[in-house]
Structure 1
Amino acid sequence: MFFDDLEKFADNIAVYDAATDVSVSYLELEMRVCDRVAQFGDGRKLIFMEAHNSLQSVVDYLSCLRGRHVVYLLENSDDEKAQYLINFYKPNILIDKDGEVRFLNDKVLDLHDDLALLLSTSGSTGSPKFVKLSQKNIQSNAESICEYLALNSDDRALSHLKLHYSYGISILNSHLQVGASVILTSHTVIDDAFWQVLNRYEATSFAGVPYTFETLLHNNFAIKEYPSLRYVTQAGGKLEADLVKEFSGRLGKENVEFFVMYGQTEAAPRISYLPPNLVATFPGTIGKAIPGGELFLIDEQGDKITEEDKAGELVYAGANVMMGYATCSEDLCLDETPPHLLTGDIACRTQFDLFYIVGRTSRFVKPFGIRVNLDEIQSYVKVEHSQSAVTGDDTRIIIAVKQSQEGCMKDIIQTLSKRYRLPESMFSIRCYEDIPLLSSGKYDYKTILRDKISSTTAKSPILRRVLDKLADILELNEQGWETILELYQTILTSSQISMADSFNNLDADSLSFVSLSIELENCLGEDLPLDWAQCSIKDLDDIYSRMRFD
């Protein structure tokens, strides 16, 4: 295991911490890990730890794995969602942002022998649902990544992706596997300091999500200024084919390879990669299965699809497939490894066993009964507006763009209206100074969907009332809360909230805002004030009471 034989790489530098300008060799890292393991005491434990891009977090993570403990990586142990998870799972140890070890629970927990790592998926952050990964899962994925990236001990990865994100932790795992170096920074590609760090430590690679490369191309990224780069990787969502070709072309002129990759947290996380020599010909694909893995398609009956260019659900099999999900502490003793992983993506196979995604089972909506692929619309919009995101539901389709792009969107709405035979009022443009992102760097579709900001084109009031009336008739707007206070206390997991509070004075996060928006709109419908976040809970409860009892 990569976390067991650190000392074999001796004086190679394992970690550069750019914030403190401290570097440690593999021998030094080994000593720090041994000392830290001893602090955790005897017996296997469930450990929750804050994972930051710092040397201390790397030591803590490796110490948990070395001691055969089960570790959950979280972003901030002080926020309410983290506190909820801590109260729910009752870990034995919490490691906070300062690296302080807090012993919370001395009970011996029933933990499966193979279980090593717990991660939240991008859609379940703050939820008690975890992906369970074994030592074998993360080890096999690290080995596969090393093989197709041809990693060696001379490589230095500039790692800015957060370690609690599966993409970020996989960079660390794979580089430690071959005795390479990881350069840790909290700066992002939009910061000048990021590029200064890259040159100072002569990084040979950096990684990014689609937004990273959309931003770099928008800012006319100058690859010549970074001669130490050997390759660049992209994952975390689809980068449009034209942008893949453009970025790959720029890198190729300087003999830098561009790897397009695909994965899911449930696969620890890497599933496929597109070899750089095929990028120019197949830029719209996610590539082929990683070494040791298998990709195939199934139809609605679960039968394998053998024809090329026929759509079906993408399925993956390999040693890196998770042990299942945990939704409570009792699940931590179970091995529920599925025979294969149903990705939820709809894809087709083409030449050289390459696959391309055409949609996602959860990214289809049906306005007026017409099935619409949001990913298809997003691809169309990104041809002209690379920094954009598309989301929606059965009642509206929302296109989020940068404010500077707002003026030329009317033609796109007209084109989409004709193409999908939907009224123009079904589409709305939401303009942002910065399009909302998740902590992973992916577009935050839920926040975009719920945002109450100005739109270039809004749904007509008549259509909105008709749809709401239909929802009432079909009993789609049933209220399940006794009071609005109960709603707030449940969503925000705090019994200290009072009727005098408002959302704005509760110091809650954006995910809580989204959850409350959904529930309040279900409860209050059109009577929900646009400025509800400023309203006291009592004011909202008065509206709710009138609606229920008048």
Structure 2
Amino acid sequence: MSLAFASHHATRGADSARARVAFVERLEEWGDRAAVYAPTGDLTYVGLAAAVRDAAEQLPATRQLVLMAAENSVDWLVTYLAALSRGHVVLLVPGDRPDHVAGLVQRYRPGSVVRRTGSAWTVTAQDDAPEHDLHPDLALLLTTSGSTGSPKLVRLSHDNLDSNATSIVQALSLTDRDRAMASLPVHYSYGLSVVHSHLACGASLVLSDFSVVDPCYWDLVRRSGATGLSGVPHTYELLERVGLAELDLPGLRTLTQAGGALPVATAARFRALAAERGWRFSTMYGQTEATARMAVLSPALATTNPDAVGVAVPGGAFRVEPLEQAATRAAAPGVGELVYTGPNVMLGYATSPADLARGREVHELRTGDLGTVDDAGVVRVVGRRSRVAKVLGLRLDLDHLERDLGDDSTPVRCVDLDGRLGLVTPRPDHAESLLAVTAQRHGLPRTAVVVLDGCEIPVLSTGKPDYPAMRSRLADVADVVDSGGRDRCALVVALYRHLLGRPDASARTSFVDLGGDSLSYVEVSVRLEEVLGTLPAHWQRLTPAELVDPITTQLDSDRRARWRRLETNVVIRALAVILILANHTKLAELPGGAHTLLVIAGYNLARFQLTGRPPRERATRIVQGVVRIWAPSALWIGLVALFVGTYDWRNVLMLNQVLGDWARWGPHWHFWFIEALVALLLGSALLCLVPGFDRLERRHPFAVPMALVGLGLLTRYAVVIPDAGPYRGANALVLLWLFATGWAVSRATTTWQRLLVSAVPVLTLPGFWPTMPGRAATITAGVLVLIWVPTLPVPARAVGAVSAVASASLFVYLTHFVVYPHVMPVNSGLAVVASLVVGLAYWKAWGWTSTVASRVAASAWARLRAGRWSRRPAAVGSEVQPGLGTVPA
């Protein structure tokens, strides 16, 4: 740590005895336990205490106001703790907003300013600073719950900090074995509370300013052995986007959320995920005025009260203040303003330096939230009484913002738009400057603010601003602002409804949510790229509304490009089926296409079915995928068996591997690949239902498929099935290792994991087909490209053809056995083309037929349930009840 003084502030009077923060004074008592993670080695509590003493010696001896520009670093932590240990009053502000820092320096005139200057962490004494009259209990000043830019500060005492830290330790059952990812801004009361509570119990911290969407964040989580993550609602939105359920996080034990209400459905998904992975997920309710957290909803309480914010933290209590008569008539029974009492309630507010001398003025906190408290002390929040908005986890005082952004000559009215800030002003052409000010002073990105300028501000008959009318107008403006995205969003939804056969698709349902799988993936992804341009990674888990946001600027350049990049697995699927046709028609001796497709099947199983869903739902989705493979296969095979007689009932039921003749290769083995695929998928569905397996797979998403690879090698090397016969390359049990290799490829996220799974085909395929070494080479090349090359360049004009062949690969494989023998005597190349044409035709016909059938069946079922059954079939375009549509292959 580097501490450089620009000047030294003169000592003004003797340093009198004063209160201290207990957990800061006790740092050394935790001995050699890790306090802070650092890449070069953990900083122990003894080491931290020594660093704090050294930093304290460099701070002024006389108690004063110290303004500190916070950052998530060891430098900040040491200096912050040093200032508290010296008894200074710390004014903590965001370090990345220099305008805000400058405004508070000018208003409060601190004795010292601590911030990063270049690469150095500096403490600069302010020579012209006045001598503040600081109340003995005062320890910390914070801006009000993220209302950055406001001169209004929350005055917190030493006891506030200690009591809340202790309460959180008890409420969350924190111990010295916990290690928290401290990535929330530490000038924010919730982020600071994470630091305080862990230091109070001898736990350790991993200080970071990485976002959860940054791969470096997850590398740090694994490298540091972090056990806990904390976030605001926006954090949890991002965690769903990055696929938290699929990450390998063996050390994670605790998830906490505060900073605003988490949507009920989102909270339910994370509770289910936590239950499956053995994590503890707690939501919390708090305000900066109560030193961050006032209530905690434990996992146990959430099972019976999922709509609650929890019970008061130890030492605290809630009561309901009845509303005035006019408001009571509009409120539900028992609803009133929530009032909180406890040792963590602030001393009061400060709006000027003179307020720093004031003692306790607040004995109970009127939260401004409307809610209820039941006999068991369970608290529910049902609304807001005051004008406060929550935007990206920040609690914004709308009245303050109006004063900050406007004046009498140019008024600005602020409205809460449910996660966005709305601004209305009569001044024309004022939007750009307002967007700049809200970004610079208040840290709000442009996408979080909607401005209506040049508009007369609507008023009520009383002359007061008509905020409901403004909210309605701003909602219309938001639609216009988002029109480009909304247009594309509507196109994406329309594509999902058409290609997936799901009329219930909406802007909030992802490809995976709608039951999309590997059969529909290729066509959907290619059609989406035509609308959106290059797709982001994991697009299948993003909703249409999320998809359109980061993509629109890529659209035009992608459309003009002569080459497009397609996902590697799509290109491999198309090439593999063409290799199968070329090999069977003797156009080229290139075996291995079907076995490569089996690897791709394992890869897509992990991507589409093994998502963050409960075990039973995972298994159901896999079985649904099997049905979408078996149904068109059984229909085709049955028709050929009926009219040609080549196959029999064993082929129709996919039982030839069980009941067929392993001693003789013939037409009855044509569909070995489909039978093996169906058997392996059904086995995967059964595994999902095995007690303990699902949790094990979620905790170790890469290790589990690699273990299955090892298990499959027992059959590959004939240790378990020594008498598989000369056609063991068609046996599902023998081919488990290839299928599991594809699964492992999807889960390989680090270089060493990719290297490990790359070794599987290189070491195990040679020798499996002693007389056909080219087959092993083809499969090995396909797997290695799938691992190391995420996308492949394809001529723009060929994208449609490649995607169509990849999408129809199952249907081409099914039908080509009937087609190519009749055309191959004429020309092998023509036989390949004819097989592709028939397969594509069957693919299109099946897709259209299954879509129509599912809609008719769904409509009939809906009428039956409603008691309005009739024999008249529904029109093709009739609506399908959500969840009843099927995905066309």
- TM-score normalised by L of structure 1: 0.67
Check if 1:130 corresponds to 2:172: no
Instruction: Tell me the equivalent position of 1:181.
Output: 204
CA distance 1:364–1:158, shift in 2 (3 Å): closer
Q: Which runs of 5 or more structure 2 residues have no equivalent in the other structure?
A: 1-21, 392-411, 421-436, 467-889
Instruction: Show the counterpart of 1:9.
Output: 30
Q: In structure 2, how many angstroms separate the alpha carbons of the residues matched to 1:130 and 1:223?
A: 42
Within 5 A, what are the aligned runs for 1:11-90? 11-17=32-38, 21-76=40-95, 79-90=98-109
- How does 1:282-361 map onto structure 2 within 5 Å? 282-301=305-324, 310-350=334-374, 352-361=376-385
Work out the CA distance in 2 between the residues paired with 1:339 and 1:446: 39
Where 2:449 maps in the other structure, the secondary structure is: helix
CA distance in 2, matches of 1:235, 1:220: 20
Shift of 1:214: 2.0
CA distance in 1, matches of 2:385, 2:360: 23
Secondary structure in 2 aligned to 1:2? helix
For each residue in 1:71-97, what CA deviation from the matched residue of structure 2 results, as whole angstroms up to 9, or x when unmatched? 011113772221121011111111111
**Residues 261 and 272 in structure 1, CA contact (< 8 A), matched pair in contact too:** yes
Q: Deviations over 1:426-473 (max 9, x none)?
A: xxxxxxxxxx9999x998899524377xxxxxxxx9xx77x65x6899
The one-letter code sitting in structure 1 at the alignment partner of 2:43 is: V
Q: 2:126 is matched by which residue type in structure 1?
A: L
Is the 1:77–1:96 contact (alpha carbons within 8 Å) kept by the matching residues of 2? no
Offset at 1:38?
Answer: 1.1
Q: Name the counterpart of 1:256.
A: 279
From 104, 122, 141, give the equivalent of 1:100. Answer: 122
The match for 1:161 among 184, 194, 198 is 184
Cα gap change, 1:475 to 1:29, in 2 (>3 Å): closer
Q: What letter is aligned with 1:358? A: V
Alpha carbons of structure 1 residues 223 and 157: separation in structure 2 relative to 1, 3 Å: farther
1:187 partner letter: F
Q: Secondary structure at the match of 1:450?
A: strand
Stretch of structure 1 that moved more, 131-140 or 81-90: 81-90
CA 1:442/1:275 → structure 2, altered by over 3 Å: closer, same or farther? farther
State the one-letter code of the partner of 1:102. Answer: T
Larger Rg: 2
Contact kept, 8 Å, 1:321 with 1:337, in 2: the verdict is no
CA distance in 1, matches of 2:218, 2:227: 12
Name whichever structure is richer in strand by fraction: 1
CA distance in 2 between counterparts of 1:400 and 1:92 reads: 38
Map of 2:602 onto structure 1: none
Alpha-carbon offset, residue 108 of structure 1? 2.9
Structure having the larger proportion of residues in helix: 2
Code of the aligned partner of 1:91? P
2:740 corresponding residue in structure 1: none
Paired residues, number: 401
Matched residues in 2 for 1:142 and 1:253: separation? 29
**Deviation of 1:130 (Å):** 0.6
Partner Cα separation in structure 2 for residue 344 and residue 268 of structure 1: 16
SS at match of 1:118: strand
Shift of 1:300: 2.2
For 1:5, the aligned partner's letter is: R
| Counterpart code for 2:123 | V
- Give 1:270's aligned residue: 293
Structure 1 residue 50: deviation in Å?
Answer: 1.4
Q: Secondary structure at the match of 2:344?
A: coil
Q: Distance in 1 between matches of 2:414 and 2:165?
A: 43
- List aligned pairs for 1:498-513, cutoff 5 A: none
Equivalent position of 1:192 in the other structure: 215
Q: Which residue of 1 aligns with 2:264?
A: 241
Instruction: Give the deviation of 1:220 after TM superposition.
Output: 3.2
Distance 2:202 2:414 in 1: 53
- Contact 2:145–2:189 at 8 Å: present in 1 too? no
Encode CA deviations 1:211-246: one digit per residue, 9 max, x unaligned: 111222244322661121111000000001221111
Q: Which residue of 1 aligns with 2:451?
A: 450
Task: Give yes or no for contact 1:119–1:164 (8 Å, CA) kept in 2.
Answer: yes
In structure 2, relative to structure 1, the CA distance for the partners of 1:225 and 1:443 (3 Å cut) is farther
Residue 278 of structure 1 deviates from its aligned partner by: 1.8
Instruction: Indicate conservation of the 8 Å contact 2:71/2:95, yes or no.
Output: no
Cα deviation for residue 107 of structure 1 reads 4.1
Structure-2 change in CA distance of 1:73 and 1:123 (3 Å): closer
CA distance in 1, matches of 2:144, 2:50: 32
* Identical positions, percent: 36
Structure 2 residue matching 1:211: 3-state secondary structure: helix
CA contact (8 A) 1:158 1:205 kept: yes
Aligned counterparts of 1:364 and 1:112: Cα–Cα separation in 2: 29
| 1:518 counterpart residue number | none
Structure 1: state its 5+ residue gaps.
366-373, 375-392, 402-435, 453-460, 478-550
CA distance in 2: counterparts of 1:125 and 1:161, whole angstroms:
15
CA distance in 2, matches of 1:34, 1:447: 43
Report the Cα offset of residue 205 of structure 1.
Answer: 0.4
In 1, the alpha carbon distance for the partners of 2:90 and 2:465 equals 40
- Using the size of structure 2 for normalisation, the TM-score is 0.42
- Give 1:126 shift: 1.6
